Structure 1
Amino acid sequence: MQIIGLCRFSYPAHGGFQVGHETTEDRIAYLYEAERLEERFRLFETVALPCLKAQTDPDFELVIVVGDTLPRQHLDRLRDITADLPQARIHAEPPRPHREVMKEILNTTRDQDLPSMQFRFDDDDAVAVDFVERLRAAPADCSGLIMKNRTVAFDWNKGLIAEYGAEGISAIEVFRPLDVAALGMYVRPRCPMTIMNFAHNKINRFMPTVSFDTKYMFVRGHNGSNDSRQKGEKPADVAPLTAEQEEMFRTRFAIDADTVRAAFSAS
């Protein structure tokens, strides 16, 4: 089975954002603004990438989608920080309709003769280090559903919301069914459907969906450049991690609090 993750890194799509922009040029200017991009890079380096590099099952692919106008210094930096993640490849696209381009990328990445398990991955989120391992095991656990359906969704809905800064990490436990993080979708061979055909929070309207009660399967980032935060989402009631919780973040998500403090203390 082929396991494919799709990550959009400041890609200036047409649609796909809660924040609207009048023109594509306005969207590019917003996404490539220096302070915003610096925050995204710090989160990608200290939060999102470590958990992927630490997966107990390393047999997966990650497509990182960027705009074809991403400035060269940022593209080079992205290549540098993913150089030790052989599962990742960077794919540049001009601005195009969000869902159409993402569906196309997934279907050209996959081997149509193999079943695939697909997941979306935000550049400020983390999944547990055994996420890919659990994705691979889920179809066997639900073989009856797999035999009878072209697509099946699998949802790990317990995790945390976290904020990161020079003081370290603050977080709160959450229960979030059908969120982007730790949600996967099985696709039968030669089926054209992808996880990008569906709004993540409505996917259970279109296929059987299995929920697992595993604790701490994801960390959702809460930061100044969250798309949802620009539309007035309320701040999360997070609290600084204890030493025990910092150790849990390190072992469960490969997120090191000291590395976070150092990154966000840098000028």
Structure 2
Amino acid sequence: MADLIVGICRFSFLGRGDWAIYSGTGHGSEAEAEARRKVAETLYRPERLEQRFRSFEALTLASIKAQRHPDFHFIVLTSPAMPPAYRARLERLCAGDGRIHLLVSDRPMVNEALAPLLAQISEDGRHRLVQFRLDDDDCLGIEYTAALHRAAEAGRQYDVFAFSMPRGLLVSNYAGAEPARYEIDRPFHSAGAAVRPRSPAQTIYSFGHYALMRRFPCLLDPRFLGSLQLKLEGHDSRPEVPRRGNGLRLLEQPVFAENLARAFPFVALSQLETLLLA
């Protein structure tokens, strides 16, 4: 029986996740509750949410709907603490495509929140799930799910395997610097990192994405540009700049535009530049 493909995006999910502020706080402790309150203040600031909705709609969701291989599920995980107007907006964006599941959960841990829906999709374990991760400011190249289906078929004999498309595009705009455009070539960067876990209790978020290639048999597909990542001032990730051996190569705009049109035809260069400067 063929494995099922399931993508997962945490959209302003108010859980422990990988926020540094939770480090050293115990489950159920007052320190954890205080950390959660501070995280909520950051997550649900209107200016942050507006920025996230722009990239989620123009990049993340657009790439999901543009995949050449349409056989997959995509879960968007958020929390009931999201302000009602924004939650309604998210519901509208996720409606109308049966592959897209909006999951609203008050569970404090990502795996706990995902468990019921993953069990439903897998028919209580009848199907194995190959899970990929995608942030709400990133998107996938149009060949991604087709490549992941091929990888899942190739990895059927393993009880667990991991997958990455190491090549992609990355654009950045940080304070004090001009917008920059890069090709990234880095196995198991976060955008599109995938795993078929051994245990139904595990998800793609059970593992650090760079740890996947050190823990499990893995398959890399460098033939296509698998992802486009947006790195902006104020986003949750650390700034990306070229350093020796870190897989970033600066691209001139004509080369970048050519690659964008080929692998990400759902987003125009002018639209991407608007997102960079918003």
What is the TM-score with the length of structure 1 in the denominator?
0.83
- In structure 2, C-alpha distance between the alignment counterparts of 1:265 and 1:219, rounded to whole Å: 17
Conserved 8 A contact 2:63-2:139:
yes
Report the alpha carbon displacement of residue 61 of structure 1 after superposing the two structures with TM.
Answer: 0.8
Do 1:161 and 1:222's aligned partners in 2 also have CA atoms closer than 8 Å?
yes
Contact 2:110 2:205 in 1 (8 A): no
Contact 1:162–1:238 (CA under 8 A) maintained in structure 2: no
Distance 1:261 1:83 in 2: 27
Q: Cα distance 1:121–1:196, how it changes in 2: closer, same or farther (>3 A)? A: same
Q: Which of the numbers 4, 15, 18 marks the counterpart of 1:16?
A: 18
Paired letter, 1:129: I
Q: What's the CA shift for 1:247? A: 4.3
| 1:187–1:193 Cα contact (<8 Å) kept | yes
Deviation at 1:255, TM superposition (A): 1.9
Tell me the CA shift for residue 68 of structure 1.
0.6
Please tell me whether residue 228 in structure 1 is matched to residue 237 in structure 2. Answer: yes
Give the aligned partner of residue 2 of structure 1: 4
- Per the alignment, in what secondary structure is the counterpart of residue 235 of structure 2? coil
In structure 1, C-alpha distance between the alignment counterparts of 2:182 and 2:276, rounded to whole Å: 20
2:118 to 106, 109, 117: 106
Shift of 1:196: 2.4
In 2, the alpha carbon distance for the partners of 1:70 and 1:108 equals 25
| Residues 80-126 of structure 1, C-alpha deviations (whole Å, 9 max, x = no match) | 23335432121111150234434555344423111221101110111
The equivalent of 1:178 in structure 2 is 188
Tell me which of 226, 229, 238 is aligned to 1:217.
226
Offset from partner CA, 1:36-90 (integer Å, 9 cap, x none): 1111111112221111110001111111011112112111211223335432121
Structure 1 pair 80–121 and aligned structure 2 pair: CA distance change class (3 A): same
CA offsets 1:106-161 (integer angstroms, 9 cap, x no match): 3444231112211011101111101111111113334xxx32x3111111111121
Segments of 5+ residues of structure 2 without an aligned counterpart are: 23-31, 243-247
1:51 pairs with 2:63: yes
Query: Judging changes above 3 Å, is the alpha-carbon distance between structure 1 residues 126 and 241 closer, same or farther for their aligned structure 2 residues?
Result: farther
In the alignment, the residues of structure 1 paired with residue 118 and residue 187 of structure 2 have an alpha-carbon distance, to the nearest angstrom, of 24
Task: Indicate if the aligned counterparts of 1:246 and 1:257 stay in contact, CA closer than 8 A.
Answer: yes
Q: Percent identity?
A: 24
Could you tell me how far apart the structure 1 residues matched to 2:17 and 2:152 are? Answer: 32
Letter of the structure 1 residue corresponding to residue 261 of structure 2: R
Q: Which residue of 2 aligns with 1:97?
A: 109
Q: Please, which moves more after superposition, 198-207 or 66-75?
A: 198-207
**Is contact 1:154–1:185 with CA below 8 Å preserved after alignment?**
yes
Q: Name the CA distance, whole Å, in 2 between partners of 1:79 and 1:250.
A: 29
Q: CA deviation at 1:258?
A: 2.7
1:78 aligns to what?
90
User: Are 2:172 and 2:231, in contact at CA under 8 Å, matched by a contact in 1?
Assistant: yes
Matched-pair contact (CA < 8 Å) for 1:157–1:176: yes
Amino acid of the residue matched to residue 135 of structure 1? L
Contact 1:158 1:216 (C-alpha < 8 Å) held by counterparts: yes
Secondary structure of the equivalent of 2:232? coil
How far apart are 1:222 and its partner, in Å? 0.3
Q: Please name the residue that 2:146 is paired with.
A: 133
Letter in 2 for 1:163: S
